[in-house]
Chain A
């Protein structure tokens, strides 16, 4: 179901109106009621499994707390956040850099279709049918920040497009949250930089709930999200050196065998056992690393 919201007319989101440069018109598809104050979850398009899992865990947490999740439907972290919210039965809003009726990126087609059916909304300030263009995306980021009370960056390299969203959020007086990553990995440098610059570090579900309460998205921390069956990002403590090494840093078997001075076949057996238990997973690039428990 299509809708068009104009500034000054009833139905235009009040919190978006409060930002420095709100869009004149908002073209939308789906449920306009989904455009209430939300948590934005954004991150790299070239996300690692770590970033994707973080996006999923925190999106599920927001959904369980009844907070809508807004993101940009881009590949990687954005789509992971949308999907996890939908899986958890939450509301999610996709803001596009093209017309709200355009399927872009193609991989997001199923998610966008679900949102347009009314499980959330797809919105854009660009008119119907407008194709995506490079210059559209910073403008889209402004709306993502405007629709959210807090922006959570789950994984970002340096430089990163997510910085533009974070800047818009600061301009609009919204909170910026970031998930810390490995100090050795260039793909996490952006998040770590944001934290150094003052973004609130989010390292577990409790941190996120505190921040959601802090910006007024939820009434109280107690109870919210707790009843969810979703796992906490922190894996249970373990003294297994192989597991600890892989949770700290995704590694290929060779490098790990060298680092731990283990026999190759012995190490591979240990890795296979942990993998069968669902504690770690093999990444598409061939390394092993932490994963969401199945």
Chain B
């Protein structure tokens, strides 16, 4: 009776937790069983492992093979256990050196013995690095894993490569962070100076912004350019975001290059699609937009339940899903951009086309964006279709790089004043604004004429503080308050 133990890991949320793959080969009727709450993909490993071993010239033992995935009560998903199971069987039957089992192995096997990458490799790499063990993965996955500092990656192209023990460590080069955004440029948006200004303020202050305008006004075009005027991701942020993308099985190259993610879920998105869920739980769009931009186009058309579910990430920057199999936590700190038509037909306030909506319908349509979301929208602005003549002539519009520099300077200004904690509470914000008598009376006047609620005044101050930062001003003055009052919610 021989046994072997191989370390592996499984994804829970966006973290990989260690799993011990215990293999027992003993006399008895030939059988191959896997226990330890694996899903269908895990159980199918039996056929892949058997075929891959034969294809690489190994013998599959004509004995009773039992595999246990410990800790047994945790549900395990996916095809990443193919490689550790094969490695365990090989080690237990003495076909590869025992030393090969010291690595954390994660990978899917092809029937010809090829090793393929699996989703969530970045999370597995972080777990292996924390455990201080080498990581045995597919050769293809090497560039991705290189983003994790100090990980000892052992690339394996085919199962046959294990005969002499673990492959040698291959130096993984961290992908260089690009400094300039590669996304669409703000210079491609002609005119619309007020909308661009609003976007700049939103980028500088991390504020939520809502564009209201008829179809074809360029709301989506504007939103897509927000990532480009935000400062590029730092290495740490890039890794955080890339892990989420990796777990979701998406390409992580652009994120690792420092590009901020831009997620624009369709308005038919389910709650699970927006905030994560399903079985096994997968991160939703809100988490994929971590450190980037979440764009909700046609926001009144989203299901109220899905919008309501955004309350926690908007407040806390992360999401906790509680399911039968346990709690998972996804990061979700994003800049929110929303867009809507002024009315269901879209042409309310349009000069050329009459609006065909009954007035009561317009009110109902507006009321569909409920409280929690509206509370997080600090700025609202009307955008209109621009004159086609401007499109054709195309003046000199500012490129994203110029705006990005101003945004970075404003953010620096904020950091110098407040440190890493931004003033969110009313009292701290009021202190940060350093209002004098004239600006105080301007705030009072704005609150009175526009009938602002307490929350409305806080939003006004927050926007005014950001405008002052863009201005390089220590105190919020009347000019900042005046401009900020133009971005208040459209009632």
* Interface, chain A (partner B; CB < 8 A): 45-46, 75-76, 107, 157, 184-187, 250, 252-255, 257-258, 263-265, 267-269, 271-273, 275-276, 278, 282-287, 294
Contact = CB atoms under 8 A, between A and B. Distances in A.
Interface string B7-23: 00000000000000000
Nearest to B483: A268
Given A75-B359, A282-B490, A264 B194 contact: yes
Contacts of A45: 359
B473 to A, nearest CB: 13
Given A265-B483, A269-B483, A254 B193 contact: yes
A30 to B, nearest CB: 26
20 contacts: A76-B359, A107-B360, A184-B351, A186-B352, A187-B354, A250-B349, A252-B382, A252-B383, A253-B382, A257-B193, A258-B390, A268-B194, A271-B486, A275-B485, A276-B445, A276-B449, A284-B362, A285-B212, A286-B381, A287-B349
B145 interface: no
A286 B479 contact: no
Contact of A253 (B343, B359, B446, B486): B486
A278 to B, nearest CB: 8
A258 B383 CA distance: 12
B491 interface: yes
A214 to B, nearest CB: 33
Nearest to B218: A254
B306 interface: no
B194 A285 contact: no
Chain B contact-residue range equals 35 or more
B384 A255 contact: yes
Nearest to B214: A285
Contacts of A275: 449, 485
A76 B348 CA distance: 15
A258 B482 CA distance: 20
B194 A254 contact: yes
B146 interface: no
Contacts of A269: 479, 482-483
A275 B485 CA distance: 10
B420 to A, nearest CB: 28
B482 A268 contact: yes
B195 to A, nearest CB: 6
A283 B362 CA distance: 14
Interface string B327-338: 000000000000
A253 B482 contact: no
Contact of A254 (B191, B446, B482): B191
A234 B164 CA distance: 94
B283 interface: no
B196 A273 contact: no
A285 B192 CA distance: 17
B107 interface: no
Contacts of B352: 186
Contacts of B354: 157, 186-187
B196 A264 contact: yes
Nearest to A272: B482
Interface in B314-349: 342-343, 348-349
Contacts, number: 103
A254 B359 contact: no
B381 A253 contact: yes
B180 interface: no
A258 B445 contact: no
Contacts of A287: 349, 382
A248 to B, nearest CB: 13
Interface in B441-491: 442, 445-446, 449, 467, 479, 482-483, 485-486, 490-491
B364 interface: no
Contacts of B54: none
In order of increasing CB-CB distance, the 6 nearest A-B pairs are A286-B382, A285-B349, A264-B193, A272-B482, A264-B197, A253-B194
B386 interface: yes
Contacts of A257: 193-194
Given A255-B384, A276-B445, 11 more contacts: A75-B359, A184-B351, A252-B194, A252-B383, A253-B382, A268-B486, A269-B479, A276-B482, A285-B342, A286-B381, A287-B349
Contact of B491 (A263, A271, A284): A284
B114 interface: no
B355 interface: yes
B213 interface: yes
A273 B351 contact: no
B383 to A, nearest CB: 6
A259 to B, nearest CB: 9
B25 to A, nearest CB: 72
A269 to B, nearest CB: 4
A277 to B, nearest CB: 9
Nearest to A258: B191
Specify which of B195, B449, B486 lies most central, judged by the most chain A CB atoms within 10 Å of its CB: B486
A286 B213 contact: yes
A185 to B, nearest CB: 6
B384 A252 contact: yes
Nearest to B470: A265
Q: Which of B212, B213, B348: most chain A Cβ within 10 A?
A: B348
Contacts of B390: 258
B490 A254 contact: no
A246 to B, nearest CB: 13
A283 B343 CA distance: 13
B351 A254 contact: no
A75 B213 CA distance: 24
Contacts of B490: 282, 284-286
